[in-house]
């Protein structure tokens, strides 16, 4: 009997201690990770500002070396045009081996959507922000406008490269959102136009010097007009051309800089002609071009790779990119832009390379790519006027503004005759002027593509004036849209591959 | 002399006669003798000698001798753990020497199970075990490798020839496609290693390449049990789904102090290297490759042009592989253990030192271990114990590159240059010019000098880093210190009821020291500016990184067992709480002014310093109950339930319950079986079980919180002469908050037979298993359109693994020859059953898709090599290749047309469409072995013993990455395998190997069946020959009880059709090892 009592007592004691052991501790499972989480973030203006910087930072991925001369995505946009060629067998030069497994295609596609997603996060958070978080007058609108602008730039890139990539306008918060189907027609451009229209109402006219490089009302109006011209080209509608002219007319305080090559010099970035640039720099400790911007603050690469032009050592035997004979031949030899843009004998590009500042390892550059500058706007405006039945004189005068700046104090290129009324001739003038003025700036392929889609030109193998005429295999129906990467088609059952791949 | 004296002798004589007479008539007399080990003749101390039917007994002394009073009618019983008990009739002998033979221990063997131990005959679950004898057969720096091939169901891959690499372990296939390594429980402490399960490269870098298991000295291990099925492993609940490896270390046992000493020393070599082209053949290949591509012909590097002054084709050939391989790499290991115990207290002390070099020069691992445990009975009811283990590793990680890197170096690139100040031949030459913008007052001062023009490669565009120079200019090493231990208190208030509380801790500290000397830039393929990141005068950069992992666990266990007649019950209740925090700190500077290793430290040198810290915590709680019932040693029932909570999941998905059941019927215990016994079957058991386990390791946790990351930066404010602007910190949200993530669950069904046959000479175990994993957590790269940047942890799929395990052993003695053979084989059929929305994931190297094994190889199937323009024309009349340029030339490959554009909502369409594009990728092979096996042959003859051990893997394919590089023939000058001499040319129209062509316009090198190979192999893993000194000799030393010397060889031969260096690792190949060792007991 006594033993039983003891046993009971001990068992009770034990059960009690077991319970005690447990009762205090389930809260121990409520631990926090070592860093900030979304739950607690976005509680102050500076946190929103950082999230906006995060959107901008994604631009880096379109321009950096990407750890490999064969992986860098600059050629996706730059190389297909008829201004640049290469003696190497690059998929963006010869087209015929361009296929959905291309790692550069995959990367370009992915980072464009990451840019959009970062913008969508900011838009979602701004939409839900409580009063009192923002303290600087206007800053909420500015952030809103920046996010819209950058998202629109993502759509613009996607439309020009893939055409039918899906339209994503909401932040992904569940798996159901991850398998959209293709966009069609100009849906991506349409959204860009909507976003840019709104951004133009939100953004500030200018920023102070320490914020130089952030987008402004002018940036939004410039991109808006550009997108409208693009849409008008393929859809052939006058309203868009006219709306583009209106948007361009809303640009104020912007002018062509006197020296043409200030547009490609590291020390004259964000100048009076600039509307939108990627702000390349040197990461503060060591700009390691083998590590992405997202890798680490001190060494993640923030530079741009102009090595295809400079035949940099880190091409490792990959052929450099040079100017086409077609481009060289188009210039009046006395046009100062010829020698500022390239070396006519070797056809090596000089843009971005001559007045460059390299990053610390010497493997890339801090010289900003000019994504949108005023000369581009002037020529687009001329095109919009010419195509929409506007004043041909005004259109020609706009071209002449660009030519006048180009010749400086010299004689060439001379003004074009304002008496010309044949819109086809003027169109050809604009096309040629764009090729010369914007050569090597990553604009040409997008122009060719839209003109071809709009039936203004016919792209064929001969058109590209490649150094590899025998091998180039451009099939318009197929290559006008680049392939949707297999990284998407392999996992998204609702996506349809572009024609011909 | 007294006259009586002769009569004294007479009395004595008479006495002896009487004594003898008395003996003859059953009188007591002293019987003496010696007991030895029948297998090697060594003396056996401590053998119990008992007169049958009495309580009279003694034990053998240190030399195996004994003396006992016995009568001629008596029978002496000699018994000793691990040996067959022998009964000997005394008869008329006064000296009885006995040789005991090793027992077939299957029945009485004690097996460690979770939270306890059990006799092997009473097991209901699937548990494989090995003991210290087997563990120490091979010499390894880490215990996992000792398990290779030894246990059915347990696959241990050879990671590489790097001594601190982690082996890949698969227990019954692969149940998940995330982290699939088993849980290690060392002396009751579940090990959690910070960052182990993370798929993020940054975590893996901080985790370091050094395997923390290497801090455990394999010589200290008493046994390893592997819990393979759910019924055995359920007791570890949420972390047990990939199996549990229970490591039990040696303890003190009651008895006089026992000293064991082991010493081994040997050397190791890599048996093979790549056969690559010499300079002449190499030059010819690239001249041909560029000439074969008209577009690229003009880009032929000057180094390959005979007419160019830069031509290198007449240079000698340099062999980069031999100097990279560690010839005669040292391996040695010494350990000593002292153990013993008295009535109340047992103790154990151990110390060990080992070191080994890797297959590649400059990698080195050194280990120092100390361990001690003590258990003590305090009074009648209380027992307390303590177990402490200290480990120190010094791992030098200076291997400059892998074997493939060396093989790919241009053969004309020299390694050494006596004229260079370093003694090594530079890769590049560069000039510098003062940087006018350099300003130390700036946050970012810039480099003091800039490159003046680009650095120039000296050996063509494929110039390699002279990796050998890195030995002079860089140093990276890790010091790992680990403290590991527990204390417990156990109360046994009434017989059979044990209440035990313990506190367990595991702390390790990993210090990385990293030095790079700026002067080394000349030897790099990607030379950085040596004047950046410091004030322009520093000699090098230095960083220290600490990774600290604290793992604390407390648990309380109540165990009650009791027998009532034929019934036995055993009940276990337990509760545990575990917290782990992984923290790291990194500090580095670009400003170190001296090269002297003693003067390397991180000074306070803004702006040239960088630091970061981080913390990753997790917590886990669990309750468990196990009830076992046994009837007459015939019927067994086990039921386990465990409830676990883990911090990794959102509050609503945090807790999970994991049940399991098992039953066994020991048929041989039945009365009806009695007549069969002793003829063919000695023991027979059928067992089966079902259970469910969890896996939380495949998530890093906090998926529901969505992290905010601070890495992206942007610069604003450049212009007006300032090209840089100011770098500003941005943030990104790489993921979205996922509230619904919960456990992976594995359901396992197991059916097994255990049999002992032919008078204990044959043992046989066969098992069928079926593991079904539900809700596999996968870090999914969501479709890129989502913009989600890091992979997202989701419960997305179900996988089935099933198969059979067979273990068969035979053991017999023929006169002086002892012989044993044992083998095991495991089959694995792995199949993905369902995927979220049916969506496959993963690329060519490892695709995961419904209906296929996890991680199968996925690519194009080679059709053949075009031999003529006519053949191309007829192929192209029907087909179009849209991956390459579709401008095929003779010598290019063609690929099979196996599919067409999938219908919307589908992922494949098996209808050919005459277009070769991404729709034609197909199954090319599976990367999970279909079966694996081990075979051990052992023999003894007098004092010699021999064991021969084979290990193998079958039904497995791998993509041969090394060959894909070595036979690509399309690059700018990477050296190629000598097999490319058989490439397609018009003179030698190869049917299998395509032509050499720069840039590969036809994409002959696309991921295809061309480089997929059978990776099956059988290795002669280990041969060991030992000799034990005869006890007669040892007896004279009066100290040494046992002394065995042995020679052993590991990885002696590999039988495979794999076309690389080694089917398990072509890059840092495993080593062939020869050893000499001594084991002694005092």
Please give, one letter per residue, the 3-state secondary structure of B821-851. Answer: EEEEEEECEEEEEEEHHHCCECCCCCEECCC
Amino acid B82: pLDDT:
64
CB nearest A212 (choices: B654, B718, B723) = B718
Cα gap B514→B1081, rounded to integer Å: 43
Amino acid B777: pLDDT:
79
Residues of chain B found within 8 Å of residue A322, distances taken between Cβ atoms: none
Judge whether residue B1 has pLDDT over 60. Answer: no
Cβ B529–A361 below 8 Å, yes or no?
yes
Cα gap B397→B364, rounded to integer Å: 7
Cβ B493–A6 below 8 Å, yes or no?
yes
Cβ B446–A501 below 8 Å, yes or no?
no
- Please give the mean pLDDT across all residues of chain B: 87
Cα gap B735→B708, rounded to integer Å: 9
CB nearest A284 (choices: B443, B577, B618) = B443
Cβ B294–A471 below 8 Å, yes or no?
yes
Cβ B907–A33 below 8 Å, yes or no?
no
Q: In angstroms, what separates the C-alpha of B885 from chain A's closest C-alpha?
A: 4
Cβ B785–A173 below 8 Å, yes or no?
no
Q: Taking residues B185-214, report their average pLDDT.
A: 84
Q: What percent of chain A has pLDDT over 90?
A: 83
Between the CA of residue A105 and those of A110, A115, B134, B199, what are the distances in Å? 9, 16, 54, 24
Q: In angstroms, what separates the C-alpha of B861 from chain A's closest C-alpha?
A: 16
Cβ A500–B456 below 8 Å, yes or no?
no
Q: What is the DSSP string of A228-259?
A: HHHHHHHH--HHHHHHHHHHHHT--S----SS
Q: What is the β-pairing status of strands B1072-1081 and B255-269?
A: antiparallel
Amino acid B106: pLDDT:
45
Task: Count how many Cα atoms sit within 13 Å of the Cα of residue B85 in the half-sphere of its side chain.
Answer: 11
CB nearest A286 (choices: B533, B654, B885) = B533
CB nearest B714 (choices: A53, A316, A487) = A53
Cα gap A348→A365, rounded to integer Å: 17
- pLDDT tens string A464-479: 988 887 788 999 999 9
Cβ A25–B621 below 8 Å, yes or no?
yes
Amino acid B81: pLDDT:
65
Cβ B727–A281 below 8 Å, yes or no?
yes
Q: Taking residues B567-596, report their average pLDDT.
A: 92
Cβ A34–B614 below 8 Å, yes or no?
yes
Residues 6+ apart with CB under 8 A from B281: B978, B981
Nearest residue to B1058 via CA among B957, B937, B926: B957
Q: Is A275 helix (H, G, I), strand (E, B) or coil?
A: strand
Amino acid A16: pLDDT:
55
Residue A399 — pLDDT band, cuts 50, 70, 90? very high
CB nearest A279 (choices: B651, B718, B837) = B718
Cβ B619–A31 below 8 Å, yes or no?
yes
Q: In angstroms, what separates the C-alpha of B304 from chain A's closest C-alpha?
A: 12
Q: Taking residues B213-240, report their average pLDDT.
A: 83
Is-contact B554 B599, C-beta < 8 A? no
Amino acid A19: pLDDT:
53
Cβ B447–A171 below 8 Å, yes or no?
no
Judge whether residue B6 has pLDDT over 50. Answer: no
Judge whether residue A266 has pLDDT over 60. Answer: yes
CB nearest B718 (choices: A26, A58, A269) = A269
Judge whether residue A458 has pLDDT over 80. Answer: yes
Q: Taking residues B215-231, report their average pLDDT.
A: 86
Q: Taking residues A297-319, report their average pLDDT.
A: 92
Judge whether residue B947 has pLDDT over 60. Answer: yes
Residue A292 — pLDDT band, cuts 50, 70, 90? very high
Is-contact B889 B904, C-beta < 8 A? no
- pLDDT tens string B716-743: 999 999 999 999 999 999 988 887 777 7
Cβ B901–A497 below 8 Å, yes or no?
yes
Is-contact B203 B195, C-beta < 8 A? yes
- Please tell me the pTM assigned to this model: 0.85
Cβ A87–B298 below 8 Å, yes or no?
yes
Residues of chain B found within 8 Å of residue A490, distances taken between Cβ atoms: 840, 843, 907, 918
ipTM entry: 0.94
* Phi, psi (deg, nearest 5) at residue A53: -55, -35
Asked whether the CA dihedral B179, B185, B186, B190 is positive or negative, the reply is: positive
Give me the count of residues in chain B.
Answer: 1082
Q: Taking residues B152-170, report their average pLDDT.
A: 82
Nearest residue to A257 via CA among A322, A330, A340, A177: A340
Q: Taking residues B286-304, report their average pLDDT.
A: 93
Residues of chain B found within 8 Å of residue A363, distances taken between Cβ atoms: 526, 528
Q: Is A20 helix (H, G, I), strand (E, B) or coil?
A: helix
For residue B525, give the chain A residue with the closest CA. A314
Pick the range with the lowest mean pLDDT from B459-473, B553-567, B691-705: B691-705
B635 φ/ψ sector (left φ>0, alpha ψ -120 to 50, else beta): beta
Residue B193 — pLDDT band, cuts 50, 70, 90? confident
Residues of chain B found within 8 Å of residue A38, distances taken between Cβ atoms: 705-708, 733, 737
Residues of chain B found within 8 Å of residue A122, distances taken between Cβ atoms: none
Q: Taking residues A34-57, report their average pLDDT.
A: 93
Cβ A267–B575 below 8 Å, yes or no?
no
Q: What is the DSSP string of B1021-1065?
A: EEEEEEEEPPHHHHHHHSS-SEEEEEEEEEEEEEEE--SSS-SS-
Amino acid B80: pLDDT:
76
For residue A107, give the chain B residue with the closest CA. B784
Cα gap A76→A370, rounded to integer Å: 16
Give the number of beta-carbon pairs within 8 Å between A and B. 395
Amino acid B21: pLDDT:
40
Q: What is the DSSP string of B516-585?
A: EEGGGGGG-SS---TTSSSSS---EEEEEEEEEEEEEEEEEEEEEEEEETTEEEEEEEEEEEEEEEEEEE
Residues of chain A found within 8 Å of residue B1006, distances taken between Cβ atoms: 101
Judge whether residue A24 has pLDDT over 70. Answer: no
Judge whether residue A6 has pLDDT over 70. Answer: no
B652 against B443, higher pLDDT:
B652
Amino acid B404: pLDDT:
94
For residue B458, give the chain A residue with the closest CA. A313
Q: What is the DSSP string of A405-466?
A: HHHTTSS-SPPPPTT---HHHHHHHHHHHHHHHTTTTT-HHHHHHHHHHTTSS---GGGG--
Q: In angstroms, what separates the C-alpha of A356 from chain B's closest C-alpha?
A: 9
Residues of chain B found within 8 Å of residue A180, distances taken between Cβ atoms: 785
Round the CA-based radius of gyration of chain B to a whole number and report it: 34
Q: In angstroms, what separates the C-alpha of A429 from chain B's closest C-alpha?
A: 33
For residue B795, give the chain A residue with the closest CA. A175
Residue B870 — pLDDT band, cuts 50, 70, 90? very high
Residue A8 — pLDDT band, cuts 50, 70, 90? low
Amino acid B900: pLDDT:
93
Asked whether the CA dihedral B892, B896, B902, B907 is positive or negative, the reply is: negative
Residues of chain A found within 8 Å of residue B437, distances taken between Cβ atoms: 357
Residues of chain A found within 8 Å of residue B781, distances taken between Cβ atoms: 487, 491
Judge whether residue A424 has pLDDT over 70. Answer: yes
Range B667-691 burial, b when 16+ CB lie within 10 A, else e: bbbeeeeeeeeeeebbbbbebbbbb
Q: In angstroms, what separates the C-alpha of B694 from chain A's closest C-alpha?
A: 17
- pLDDT tens string B54-110: 777 787 887 788 888 888 888 888 887 667 778 888 888 888 888 887 654 444 577
Give me the count of residues in chain A.
Answer: 501
Return the residue matching tokens 């793992």. Answer: B551
Pick the range with the lowest mean pLDDT from B10-19, B93-102, B449-458, B474-483: B10-19
Q: Reply yes or no: is the peptide bond before residue B705 cis, omega within 30 of 0.
A: no
Amino acid B572: pLDDT:
92
Q: Which helix (H) or strand (E) holds A145?
A: helix A139-161
Amino acid B108: pLDDT:
58
Q: In angstroms, what separates the C-alpha of A399 from chain B's closest C-alpha?
A: 27
Task: Count how many Cα atoms sit within 13 Å of the Cα of residue A362 in the half-sphere of its side chain.
Answer: 26
Q: What percent of chain B has pLDDT over 90?
A: 47
Task: Count how many Cα atoms sit within 13 Å of the Cα of residue B606 in the half-sphere of its side chain.
Answer: 3
Amino acid B24: pLDDT:
42
CB nearest B299 (choices: A26, A87, A165) = A87
For residue B290, give the chain A residue with the closest CA. A88
Return the residue matching tokens 């091998």. Answer: A471
Residue B320 — pLDDT band, cuts 50, 70, 90? very high
Residue B14 — pLDDT band, cuts 50, 70, 90? very low
Q: In angstroms, what separates the C-alpha of A409 from chain B's closest C-alpha?
A: 24
Amino acid B19: pLDDT:
42
- pLDDT tens string B254-281: 888 889 999 999 999 998 999 999 999 9
Cα gap B192→B552, rounded to integer Å: 10
Cβ A317–B651 below 8 Å, yes or no?
no
Amino acid A152: pLDDT:
98
Residue A29 — pLDDT band, cuts 50, 70, 90? confident
- pLDDT tens string B649-692: 888 888 889 899 999 999 888 888 887 776 788 889 999 999 98
Judge whether residue A15 has pLDDT over 80. Answer: no
Tokens (6 digits) for B184: 């290690």
Judge whether residue B418 has pLDDT over 60. Answer: yes
- pLDDT tens string B742-780: 778 889 899 999 998 888 889 999 999 998 988 887 777
Judge whether residue B311 has pLDDT over 50. Answer: yes
Q: In angstroms, what separates the C-alpha of B770 from chain A's closest C-alpha?
A: 29
């Amino acid at each position: 009997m006594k033993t039983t009592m003891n046993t009971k007592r001990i068992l009770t004691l034990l059960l009690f201690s077991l319970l005690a052991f447990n009762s205090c501790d389930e809260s121990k499972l409520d631990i926090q990770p070592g860093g900030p989480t979304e739950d607690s973030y976005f509680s102050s203006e500076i946190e929103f500002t950082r999230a906006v910087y995060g959107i901008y930072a994604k631009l880096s991925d379109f321009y950096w070396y990407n750890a490999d001369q064969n992986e860098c995505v600059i050629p996706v946009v730059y190389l297909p045009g008829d201004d640049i060629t290469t003696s190497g067998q690059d998929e963006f030069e010869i087209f015929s081996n361009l296929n959905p497994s291309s790692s550069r295609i995959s990367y370009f596609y992915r980072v464009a959507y990451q840019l959009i997603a970062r913008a969508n996060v900011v838009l979602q958070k701004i939409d839900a922000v409580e009063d009192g978080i923002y303290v600087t007058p206007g800053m909420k609108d500015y952030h809103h406008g920046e996010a819209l602008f950058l998202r629109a730039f993502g759509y613009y890139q996607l439309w020009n490269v893939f055409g039918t990539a899906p339209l994503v306008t909401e932040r992904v918060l569940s798996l159901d959102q991850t398998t959209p189907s293709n966009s069609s027609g100009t849906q991506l451009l349409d959204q860009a136009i909507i976003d840019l229209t709104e951004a133009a109402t939100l953004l500030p006219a200018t920023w102070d010097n320490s914020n130089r490089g952030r987008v402004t009302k002018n940036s939004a109006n410039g991109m808006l007009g550009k997108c409208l011209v693009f849409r008008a080209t393929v859809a052939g509608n006058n309203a868009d051309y006219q709306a583009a002219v209106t948007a361009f007319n809303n640009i104020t305080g912007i002018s062509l800089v006197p020296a043409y090559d200030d547009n490609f010099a590291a020390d004259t970035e964000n100048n009076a002609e600039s509307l939108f640039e990627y702000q390349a720099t040197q990461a503060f400790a060591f700009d390691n071009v083998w590590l992405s911007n997202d890798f680490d603050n001190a060494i993640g690469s923030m530079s741009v790779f102009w090595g295809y032009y400079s035949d940099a050592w880190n091409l490792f035997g990959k052929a450099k990119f040079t100017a086409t004979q077609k481009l060289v031949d188009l210039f009046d030899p006395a046009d100062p832009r010829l020698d500022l843009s390239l070396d006519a004998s070797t056809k090596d590009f000089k843009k971005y390379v001559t007045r460059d500042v390299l990053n610390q390892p010497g493997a890339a550059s801090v010289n900003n790519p000019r994504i949108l500058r005023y000369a581009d706007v002037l020529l687009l405006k001329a095109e919009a006027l010419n195509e929409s039945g506007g004043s041909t004189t005004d259109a020609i005068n706009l071209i002449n503004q660009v030519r006048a700046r180009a010749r400086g104090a010299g004689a060439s290129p001379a003004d074009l005759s304002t008496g010309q009324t044949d819109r086809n001739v003027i169109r050809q003038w604009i096309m040629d002027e764009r090729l010369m003025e914007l050569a090597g700036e990553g604009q040409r392929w997008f122009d060719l593509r839209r003109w071809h889609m709009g039936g203004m030109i016919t792209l064929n193998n001969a058109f590209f004036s490649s150094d590899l005429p025998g091998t180039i295999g451009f099939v318009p129906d197929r290559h006008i849209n680049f392939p949707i990467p297999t990284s998407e088609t392999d996992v998204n059952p609702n996506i349809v591959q572009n024609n011909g791949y | 002399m007294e006259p009586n004296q002769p009569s004294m002798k007479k009395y004595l004589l008479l006495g002896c006669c009487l004594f003898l007479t008395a003996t003859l008539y059953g009188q007591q007399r002293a019987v003496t003798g010696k007991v030895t080990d029948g297998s090697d003749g060594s003396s056996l101390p401590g053998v119990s000698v008992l007169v049958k039917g009495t309580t009279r007994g003694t034990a053998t002394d240190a030399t195996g001798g004994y003396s006992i009073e016995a009568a001629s009618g008596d029978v002496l019983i000699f018994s000793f753990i691990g040996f067959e008990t022998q009964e000997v009739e005394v008869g008329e002998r006064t000296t009885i020497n006995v040789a005991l033979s090793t027992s077939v221990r299957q029945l009485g063997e004690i097996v460690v199970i979770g939270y306890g131990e059990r006799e092997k005959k009473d097991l209901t679950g699937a548990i494989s075990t090995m003991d210290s004898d087997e563990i120490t057969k091979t010499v390894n720096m880490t215990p996992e490798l000792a398990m290779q091939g030894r246990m059915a169901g347990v696959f241990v891959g050879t990671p590489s020839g790097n001594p601190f690499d982690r082996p890949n372990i698969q227990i019954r296939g692969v149940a998940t496609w995330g982290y699939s390594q088993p849980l290690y429980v060392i002396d009751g402490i579940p090990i959690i290693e910070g960052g182990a399960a993370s798929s993020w490269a940054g975590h893996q870098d901080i985790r370091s390449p050094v395997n923390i298991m290497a801090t455990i000295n394999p010589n200290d291990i008493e046994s390893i049990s592997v819990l393979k099925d759910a019924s055995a492993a359920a007791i570890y609940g949420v972390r047990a789904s990939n199996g549990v490896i229970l490591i039990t270390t040696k303890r003190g046992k009651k008895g006089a102090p026992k000293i064991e000493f082991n010493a081994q020393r040997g050397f190791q070599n890599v048996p093979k290297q790549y056969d690559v082209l010499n300079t002449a053949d190499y030059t010819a290949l690239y001249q041909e490759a560029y000439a074969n591509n008209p577009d690229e012909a003009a880009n032929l590097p000057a180094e390959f042009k005979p007419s160019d002054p830069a031509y290198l084709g007449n240079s000698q050939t340099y062999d980069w592989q031999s100097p990279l391989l560690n010839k005669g790499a040292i391996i040695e290991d010494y350990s000593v253990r002292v153990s013993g115990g008295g009535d109340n207290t047992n103790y154990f002390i151990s110390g060990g030192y080992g070191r080994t070099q890797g297959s590649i020069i400059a990698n080195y691992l050194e280990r120092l271990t100390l361990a001690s445990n003590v258990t003590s009975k305090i009074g009648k009811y209380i027992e307390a114990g303590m177990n402490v283990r200290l480990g120190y590793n010094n791992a030098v990680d200076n291997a400059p590159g892998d074997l493939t890197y060396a093989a790919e170096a241009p053969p004309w690139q020299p390694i050494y240059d006596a004229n260079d100040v370093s003694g090594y031949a530079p890769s590049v030459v560069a000039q510098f010019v003062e940087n006018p913008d350099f300003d130390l007052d700036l946050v970012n001062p810039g480099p003091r000098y800039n490159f003046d023009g680009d650095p120039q490669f000296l050996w063509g565009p494929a110039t390699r880093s002279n990796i050998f120079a890195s030995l002079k200019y860089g140093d990276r090493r890790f010091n790992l210190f680990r403290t590991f231990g527990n204390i417990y208190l156990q109360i046994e208030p009434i017989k059979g009821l044990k209440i035990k509380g313990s506190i367990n801790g595991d702390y390790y500290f990993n210090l990385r020291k990293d030095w790079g000397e700026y002067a080394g830039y000349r030897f790099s393929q990607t030379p950085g500016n040596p004047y950046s990141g410091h004030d322009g005068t520093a000699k090098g950069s230095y960083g220290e990184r600490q990774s600290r992992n604290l793992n604390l666990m407390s648990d309380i266990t109540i165990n009650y067992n009791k027998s009532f007649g034929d019934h036995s019950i055993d009940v276990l209740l337990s509760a545990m709480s575990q917290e782990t925090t992984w923290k790291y700190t990194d500090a580095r500077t670009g400003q170190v002014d001296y090269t002297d290793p003693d003067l390397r430290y991180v000074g306070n040198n803004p702006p040239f310093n960088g630091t970061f810290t981080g913390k990753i915590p997790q917590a886990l709680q669990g309750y468990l109950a196990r009830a076992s019932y046994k009837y007459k040693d015939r019927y067994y029932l086990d039921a386990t339930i465990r409830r676990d909570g883990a911090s990794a999941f959102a509050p609503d998905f945090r807790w999970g319950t994991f049940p399991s059941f098992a039953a066994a019927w020991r048929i041989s215990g039945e009365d009806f079986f009695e007549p069969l016994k002793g003829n063919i079957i000695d023991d027979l058991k059928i067992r089966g079980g079902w259970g469910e386990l969890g896996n939380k390791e495949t998530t890093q946790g906090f998926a529901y919180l969505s992290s905010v990351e601070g890495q992206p930066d942007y610069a604003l404010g450049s212009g007006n002469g300032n090209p840089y602007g100011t770098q500003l910190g941005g943030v990104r949200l790489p993921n979205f908050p996922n509230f619904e993530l919960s456990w992976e669950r594995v359901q396992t069904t197991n059916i097994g037979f255990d049999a002992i046959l032919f008078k204990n000479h044959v043992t046989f175990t066969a098992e069928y298993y079926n593991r079904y994993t539900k809700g596999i957590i996968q870090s999914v790269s969501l479709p890129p359109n989502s913009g989600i940047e890091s992979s997202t942890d989701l419960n997305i799929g179900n996988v089935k693994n099933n198969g059979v395990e067979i273990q068969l052993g035979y053991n017999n003695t023929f006169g002086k020859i002892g012989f044993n053979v044992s083998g095991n084989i495991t089959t694995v059929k792995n199949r993905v059953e369902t995927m979220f929305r049916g969506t496959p994931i993963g690329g060519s190297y490892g695709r995961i898709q419904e209906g296929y094994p996890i991680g199968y190889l996925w690519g194009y199937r080679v059709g053949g090599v075009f031999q003529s323009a006519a053949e191309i024309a007829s192929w192209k009349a029907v087909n179009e290749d849209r991956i390459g340029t579709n401008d095929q030339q003779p010598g290019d490959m063609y690929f099979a047309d196996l599919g067409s554009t999938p219908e919307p909502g589908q992922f494949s369409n098996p209808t050919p469409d005459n277009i070769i594009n991404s729709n034609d990728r197909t199954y090319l092979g599976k990367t999970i072995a279909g079966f694996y096996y081990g075979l051990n042959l052992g023999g003894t003859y007098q004092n010699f013993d021999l064991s021969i051990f084979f290990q193998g893997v079958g039904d497995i394919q791998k993509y041969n990455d090394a060959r894909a590089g070595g036979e690509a023939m399309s690059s700018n000058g990477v050296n190629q395998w000598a097999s490319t001499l058989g490439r397609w040319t018009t003179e030698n129209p190869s049917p299998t190997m395509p032509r050499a062509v720069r840039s590969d316009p036809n994409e002959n090198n696309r991921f295809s069946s061309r480089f997929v190979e059978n990776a099956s192999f059988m290795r002669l893993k280990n041969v060991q020959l030992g000799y034990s000194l005869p006890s007669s000799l040892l007896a004279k030393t009066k100290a040494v009880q046992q002394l065995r010397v042995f020679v052993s060889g590991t990885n002696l031969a590999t039988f495979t059709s794999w076309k690389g260096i080694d089917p398990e690792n072509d890059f840092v190949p495993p080593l062939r090892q020869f050893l000499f060792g001594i084991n002694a007991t005092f």
